[in-house]
Amino acid sequence: MKLKRSAGVLLHISSLYNKTGIGDFGPSAYAFVDYLAQCGMSYWQTLPLNYTDGGRGFSPYSCLSAFAGNPLFISPEMLVEEGLLSQDDLCDHCFEENIVEFDKVNAYKTSLLTKAFIEFEKKDSFEFSEFCKKHAYWLDDFALFLSIKNYQGGAWWLDWPAELKNRDSKGIAEIKIVLDHDIKKQQFIQYLFFKQLNTLKNYCNYKNIQLIGDMPFYVSHDSSDVWCNPEFYKLHKDGSPAKVAGVPPDMYSETGQLWGMPIFNWNVLKKSNYDWWVKRIKHTLLMCDIIRLDHFRAFAAYYEIGSEEHTAINGKWLKAPGNSFFTTVLKAFGDLPFIAEDLGEIDEPVIELIDKFKLPGMKLLQFSFTENTPTSIHSPHNYKQSNVVYTGTHDNNTLLGWYKEEISDKKKQVISAYYNKVINESNVNTEFIRAAFASVAALAIIPMQDLLHLGSEAKMNRPGSLHDNWMWRLHSEAPLNEELAMDIKNQLALFNRICC
């Protein structure tokens, strides 16, 4: 995929401001698209939009399904417009302005969706029936999985009764009868999600804005994907993970990172011509125009750890069938609409895979200022046109927070030397963003927090922490004004990044 010279903003859907406690596909999303167009931006990048819950900290990278969408992004205001809710249903609820109170929001939206479903049941909907038929290949299993999970009090599928855990045909047939109403409700919720997202995506494209989505490499063990297709993963006979994912020790962690998701059984996936992956990619492209492939290096080689281990020290690297995989995907789609997340410790096979399939790779300005700044691949003077440059990502501190709290005086001196002027807290954002726009990288993506010059209070994620993540959102008084829009647009025009 060849990117045109352009720019975009990184902001997750949940971080939009509205009065219902979390950003969604409603009016605030359309207003944000209008603002991006006013700025001259061409892309809006989000985090994964898949179904997650409190059991996994509402992390968008730990989902119950690689296909199902997150109900929290369904707009209540749009359900009022459809006659599925009343305006009174949206009243008398108070949420924090600048964070997402996930448990509170989840309870609120669950009750609203239940009310909407009750109203929906009074009607016949050909559109809903067609949606269920079109998406039956994943929707039937997911709706059943989630209904059983709710029926079992949220229990992990490994702890379900044997006939359900093992998908015994008689047991499944019986539970489908018992849970018929809830199964239909889960299908209805997914129908709403994809209906609202499709309308928003069409509006983005109308405004010459493309959506960049995000696809996690691994899937959670407690997901409909693993429950329905255990042969695609390295599991014990009882269904528990035999091998799990992570990364080895490095300069940031003496024991590495033990993520715990099950490892793919690539031999089985290859025999099926990667059918599950092809379907997953095709489905994800219903949610976005371009997919950021998270943890891309695992397509070249993945780090495998025994499930009995308590750290990632004793894992080993195994070769992945990246060439075969992307050759198959290229035949299926005729193009590879991907951005490769190639950050961290990468080796020559990863670089060769990116080069062979002409995939745009990521560069981070925060990573460039080290003792190796002259030769760093993250320094702007070493970029290629095929690169996508970011000031930072959701896993980093904000630019201002990073500068104030995380780097040494020596590194600050290197930064000032690089820009040939005194860099400090008052101008670090301006200079870094300008450097990203001025670089030869085809696409420059700036987190919204950095455009607004926000500090570490606006961090989206704190890797290694299980608490207070994914919560930040725009305040109602965030200065998304005409002055900022004109400043951004003038810079984009100066550096030839307005492509539409």
Cβ atoms of 138 and 278 within 8 Å: the answer is: no
Half-sphere exposure of 415 (CA within 13 A, CB side): 24
Element housing 136 (H / E): helix 136-151
Question: Is position 34 annotated as part of the catalytic site?
Answer: no
Q: Which one from 294, 342, 431, 450 is the annotated catalytic residue? A: 294
Q: Is 254 a catalytic residue?
A: no
| 245 vs 315: CA distance, rounded Å | 9
Beta-carbon contacts of residue 18 (< 8 Å; ≥ 6 apart)? 24, 26, 27, 28, 77
Give residue 118's Cα distance to chain centre.
31
Determine contact, residues 238/230, Cβ cutoff 8 Å: no
Could you give the angle at the alpha carbon of 409 between the alpha carbons of 408 and 413, nearest 5°? 120
Chain length of the chain: 500
CA proximity to 98, closest of 10, 16, 24, 32: 16
For residues 307, 310, 316, 320, the Cα torsion angle rounded to the nearest 10 degrees is 50
List the end-to-end C-alpha distance of the chain, in Å, as a whole number. 18
Of 141, 225, 341, 342, which residue is the catalytic one? Answer: 341
Look at strands 290-293 and 210-215 and give their pairing.
Answer: parallel
CA 114 to chain centre: 26
CB-based contact 188:120 (threshold 8 Å): yes
The rounded Cα 291 to chain-centroid distance in angstroms is 9
Report the sign of the C-alpha dihedral through residues 118, 124, 127, 130, in that order.
Answer: positive
For 38, the 3-state DSSP assignment is helix
How far is residue 400's CA from residue 50's CA, in Å, rounded to a whole number?
A: 30
341 is catalytic: yes
* 487 phi and psi angles, rounded to 5 deg: -65, -45
List the catalytic residue out of 231, 395, 406, 425.
395
Active site residues: 294, 341, 395
